[in-house]
Amino acid sequence: MLGDGYEMRYVDHPDDYSGQVRSTIIRKLSSCGGNKGVLYVHGFNDYFFQSEMGDRFVDSCYNFYAVDLRKYGRSLLPGQKPFQVRDMKEYFADIDSAIAQMKDDGIDEIILMGHSTGGLTTSLYMACLLYTSPSPRDRTRSR
């Protein structure tokens, strides 16, 4: 569907209030190799289909990953209500699973990129990480 070099896999997550839940990780690895990668998070009423964008990153020596969030695109299961979410933080497990895949693939320089509502989701994700992780000052004190 996306073209040569694109791969995808499903990630099953614990059931939620509507039943079974999964996300989908799409990737295209750069022939440059390297440890740099981009994770793209789509917006509302969307999923990843912009292969030209992924190809541009790959051609620029970035490994490209995208996640179809739960109840969107390739992740939508029969009987599910599309886009149903009660808390934006439900998407964090989907992002975490994609980042874990990137790390398993040797990517340790990760750029998180969101389009439209995906920008809101990634901003919330990063803000929650900042506020729940020890501050640099606290980490220095504990040494």
Res. 50 pLDDT band, cuts 50 70 90: confident
136 pLDDT exceeds 80? no
Residue-wise DSSP of 18-43: TEEEEEEEEEE--TT--SEEEEEE--
Q: Note the pLDDT of residue 29.
A: 95
137 pLDDT exceeds 60? no
**pLDDT digit string (tens) for 71-93?**
988 988 999 998 898 999 999 99
Worst-scoring range by mean pLDDT, 4-8, 24-28, 59-63, 72-76? Answer: 72-76
Q: What average pLDDT is seen over the chain?
A: 88
The pTM is what?
Answer: 0.88
Q: How many CB atoms lie within 10 A of CB 133?
A: 10
110 pLDDT exceeds 90? yes
Q: Note the pLDDT of residue 140.
A: 38
134 burial (CB, 10 Å; 0-12 / 13-18 / 19+) is exposed
Q: How far apart are CA 143 and CA 134, in angstroms?
A: 13
Q: Note the pLDDT of residue 24.
A: 95
126 pLDDT exceeds 50? yes
